[in-house]
Amino acid sequence: MNTGLFITFEGIDGAGKSTQLDYAVNYLRSQKKEVVQTREPGGTIFSEKLRSMILEAKTPLDSDTEVLLMFAARKEHITRVIQPALNSGSIVVCDRFTDATFAYQGGGSRVPPSRIETLEAWVQGNFQPHLTLFFDLPIEIAQRRMGQRKKDRFESEAMDFHERVRHAYLDRAHKHPDRIKVIDSSRTKSQIREMVQVELDRICN
């Protein structure tokens, strides 16, 4: 049984994804929808531990290791949180999912997409989000917006890494136009909210 809706939020670091995600969750709850808010890597006690290990690693991690850890965390998350919530009819709103692995490890760290696809098929079968909102912004603007805030391991990568991440996301949006909607994050906050609301209304009603 799979009666709920699975909505994922993706974005360039600094594109305002998390602010919009909080807005979306409040908006859906105001409509009396049952919403489970979660994130990747993370979402279970074990997967949150993996998150800290990956994002706070002081020494470089092999990129294949990173992919394997992301999917280990994901498998736990799907099995223990996402699937049960969907089975009970909830809307699951998740801050990042597998598109992030294609973008960061595939695009950014140049892991061949075929390896990621192999793990995606193993861990997810045909399971995919019903809707993905991708918050897009030119990298220079995103970096300026992030300013001096404390950065995790990926956020601290060089500009060309982030350019590759952005292009990998845009490439995925191009390949999956029905599922992935690109939101232009150079617009004002209220314009972005409006675009988010339109997409939520479309998928939920």
Please report, as ranges, the residues that interact with ligand TMP according to CB under 6 A. Answer: 13, 39-41, 55, 70, 95-96, 100-101, 104-105, 152, 154-155
**In the complex, what is the shortest distance from the CB of residue 82 to ligand TMP, in angstroms, rounded to a whole number?**
13
**In the complex, what is the shortest distance from the CB of residue 42 to ligand TMP, in angstroms, rounded to a whole number?**
8
By beta-carbon proximity to ligand TMP, the closer residue of 34 and 117 is 117
Cis status of the peptide bond prior to 41, with omega within 30 of 0: yes
By beta-carbon proximity to ligand TMP, the closer residue of 38 and 105 is 105
**In the complex, what is the shortest distance from the CB of residue 9 to ligand TMP, in angstroms, rounded to a whole number?**
8
By beta-carbon proximity to ligand TMP, the closer residue of 13 and 136 is 13
**In the complex, what is the shortest distance from the CB of residue 146 to ligand TMP, in angstroms, rounded to a whole number?**
11
By beta-carbon proximity to ligand TMP, the closer residue of 36 and 204 is 36
